[in-house]
Amino acid sequence: MNKKKILPFCLVVSAVVVGCQNQQETTLTDNPLLLTYETPFEVPPFDIIKDEHFRPAFKEALRQHNLEIDSIVNNQDDPTFPNTIVALENAGTLLGNVSRVFGNLNSANTNDSIQAIDKDLAPQLSAHRDEIMLNAELFARVKAIYDNKANLNLDLEDAKLLDETYKGFVRSGANLSAEEKEKLKKINSELSVLTTAFGQNLLAETNSFELVVDNEEDLAGLPEALKSAASSEAEARNKAGKWIFTLKNPSVMPFLQYAENRDLRKQIWDAYQKLGNNDNDFDNKDNLKKIANLRLKKANLLGYPSHAAYVLEESMAENPQNVYELLNRVWAPALEKAKVEAADIQTEIAAEKDTFEVAPYDWRYYQEKIRKSRFALDEEEIKPYFSLAAVREGAFATATKLYGLTFIALNNVPVYHPEVEVYEVKDKSGTHLGLLYADFFPRESKDSGAWMTSYRSQSRKGGARVAPVISIVCNFTKPVGDQPALLTFDEASTLFHEFGHALHGLLSDVRYRSLAGTSVSRDFVELPSQIMENWAADPEVLKSYAKHYKTKEAIPDSLINKLVKAGTFDQGFATVEYLAASLLDLDYHAATSPIASDVNAFEDAAMKKIGLIDAIIPRYRSTYFRHVFAGGYSAGYYAYIWSEVLDSDAFAAFKEKSLYDQGTAASFRRNILERGGTGNPAEMYRQFRGADPDPIYLMKKRGLN
């Protein structure tokens, strides 16, 4: 559960409103979501948007989108690229704007009202999309253009938009019979309800748990900052004088890492690993089983043997077999290394005169002890050098050195929560590139994990560049008293990671918004994010940004050397828990027959098949695997390791010359970051690197060669 807890950064918003008789509605002329945003940089006016604005805004946006589609369908002129393909691209602007605001708030600052809208109206957006994508007359116009594309003299970006538009219709069922289309609509509607319920159940159950400690002796081993945060949490919950730990990552993970009380470690671990699996109102077993089987049913209806085959057709991997091949290639050495690590832990347990077998809730605790003894590396000694402000500025400085970007803090831009920061991003020439929102701290209204999203994608209008509005959302420990937010090194890497996604969105320079920024295949989209983690860990870069929050002194070479020596420590565990989740995802979605067994039995069988040891569980167990059952990563969680092959090789291109080599940076920007989804990912990478990626750099990085 270390650093890549990435939720989908291209949010699929499940909410469309068609009416609300019992809720007070503002008039359309009063609704800020429907008016031209008279704000700096035309950002959403968060300061005046209220929950009651969403229903009428969606209703009007939906109406306008339908009119736009009708105008395309009823156009008496012969179908052309401008009057059909470009018109489709530009349709639904208002609906997209409203959906982005709603969806991002639902993920980062939700409440009962927003969740009710999402739950009640999710199927209606699904139905609206189906009405468009299954419109026979509309598809006939698209197909006529596609069939004649050889005679249209389209440039590469126009041709890509035409291909993606046509494939979008076909993959959405445009070629199905009328009866099959009705079946597909029903499946899509059910899936929208189930995936929404899965995510809401997970958030509710996460928020419902608290480990209350009232005896200070039970806090033995915990860092003072963690104890202070737990004390503050207790005060906020009207339990002053106690300590409360939650299932949010900044609370549960360090507790497992440092708490000497094994019974309490087991208690919080059991709550964590049984999220969504407690046979209560928030149980997700039935939801996810239905989701997996409905996805299979949909894939079969569309002519694919499995959901994975359907999804991966559009990826670099191309098919499930290629994904299994990569995962299994890395699995064997990773598992062997994890077994060695488990034996080391067992030796440590024996040295303390204990006889129990290492359990999952022991792993982080004993590996931290081994890390300290083997490398003299104490994470608490490191954290003072990784204040949030220092890490943020380090990420900014890296982008400045690579691409000449500057970041200017703004205080005149409306935000959706007081903790949110906003920066204007300018190019080396001083040209405005876009805005960056940053939301760093956990709260009950926010999903767990870290992700990047957007409020406006980059595009071109009348030849002029429309600047993107990008957001990164994280869950780092809040400041306590006079002490600023101090990050673990993994959290620092997470910030660089999400910032890499943000750069992908900010530096995009394409004509069409649907091809902009992160609109690429899942197994390519993590390249721009993961490559930034390499700079986060580089000794030269560390010296420039890791500054002690009190003394302002740079991190000493002695600590950097310890970090470097410990770089592949515990990578057996980290790789195995990730691969186990990736293989579990694939097993659910590569299935060619419906899942009949109990979900827990299915998961157990999947893990026994690959030989997962008892001391490790998948990074995400089935019932809280939000990425694949409430996000956009179904049959795609493998993407992180696939992209790591790319990012390890790409960073090697820099290291072969210099850390900030301007020629290499310009090529990476030109061929990867600016192009969005306008080209074939493999070809784009070859244009940057001059060759296909070599997996050897990944194996070295993880210490598995």
Tens of pLDDT, residue by residue over 352-408, are 999 999 999 999 999 999 999 999 998 889 999 999 999 999 999 999 999 999 999
Give CA–CA dist 521/323, Å, rounded: 14
Q: How is 659-677 classified by DSSP, letter by letter?
A: TT-HHHHHHHIIIIITTTT
pLDDT per residue as tens digits for the range 422-469: 999 999 999 999 999 999 999 999 999 999 999 999 999 999 999 999
Amino acid at residue number 499:
F
> Is residue 25's pLDDT more than 70?
no
> Is residue 15's pLDDT more than 80?
no
Q: Which of 18-22, 246-250, 621-625 has the lowest mean pLDDT?
A: 18-22
Other CB atoms within 10 A of residue 379 CB? 17
Average pLDDT across the chain, whole number: 94
pLDDT of residue 508: 98
**Taking residues 45-63, what's their average pLDDT?**
96
Give CA–CA dist 452/502, Å, rounded: 6
pLDDT of residue 120: 85
Radius of gyration from C-alpha coordinates of the chain: 25
**Taking residues 150-159, what's their average pLDDT?**
97
Give CA–CA dist 486/546, Å, rounded: 11
Q: How is 472-535 classified by DSSP, letter by letter?
A: EE--PPPPBTTBPPB--HHHHHHHHHHHHHHHHHHS---S-GGGSTT-S-HHHHTHHHHHHHHH
> Is residue 17's pLDDT more than 80?
no
Query: What pLDDT band is residue 704 in, cutting at 50, 70 and 90?
Result: confident
> Is residue 26's pLDDT more than 70?
no
pLDDT of residue 705: 78
Specify the fold of 384-565+640-701.
Neurolysin; domain 3 (1.10.1370)
Instruction: Please tell me the pTM assigned to this model.
Output: 0.93
pLDDT per residue as tens digits for the range 505-516: 999 999 999 999
CA quadruple 181, 198, 52, 88: dihedral sign: negative
Q: What is the CATH number of domain 285-377+571-637?
A: 1.10.1370.10
The verdict on whether 157 is a catalytic residue reads no
Query: What pLDDT band is residue 29 in, cutting at 50, 70 and 90?
Result: confident
pLDDT of residue 6: 30
Query: What pLDDT band is residue 1 in, cutting at 50, 70 and 90?
Result: very low
pLDDT per residue as tens digits for the range 106-116: 999 999 999 99
Tokens 């009950």 locate to: 444
pLDDT per residue as tens digits for the range 552-568: 999 999 999 999 999 99
Q: Which helix (H) or strand (E) segment is 437 a member of? A: strand 432-439
Q: Which residue in 420, 443, 445, 418 sits closest to 112, CA to CA? A: 445
Give CA–CA dist 29/51, Å, rounded: 16
Percentage of the residues of the chain whose pLDDT score is greater than 90:
94
Same topology, domains 28-133+135-175 and 384-565+640-701? Answer is yes
Q: Which residue in 272, 329, 299 sits closest to 588, CA to CA? A: 299
Do the beta carbons of residue 467 and residue 514 sit within 8 Å? no
Q: What is the distance of C-alpha 659 from the center of its chain?
A: 27
Give CA–CA dist 599/606, Å, rounded: 11
**Taking residues 531-540, what's their average pLDDT?**
97
What is the dihedral angle through the alpha carbons of 108, 273, 583, 571, rounded to the nearest 10 degrees? 90
Domain boundaries, the chain: 28-133+135-175, 209-262, 285-377+571-637, 384-565+640-701
What tokens appear for 128 in the block? 């609206």
Measuring CA to CA, how many Å separate 488 from each of 253, 353, 379, 485, 534? 11, 31, 7, 10, 16
pLDDT of residue 27: 65
**Taking residues 595-605, what's their average pLDDT?**
97
Measuring CA to CA, how many Å separate 610 from each of 120, 329, 341, 579? 40, 12, 18, 10
What tokens appear for 67 in the block? 């009119």
Query: What pLDDT band is residue 329 in, cutting at 50, 70 and 90?
Result: very high
Give CA–CA dist 481/478, Å, rounded: 10
- 28-133+135-175, which class in CATH? mainly alpha
Set 164, 368, 491, 498: catalytic member? 498
**Taking residues 89-109, what's their average pLDDT?**
97
Give CA–CA dist 656/670, Å, rounded: 19
DSSP 8-state class, residue 281: T
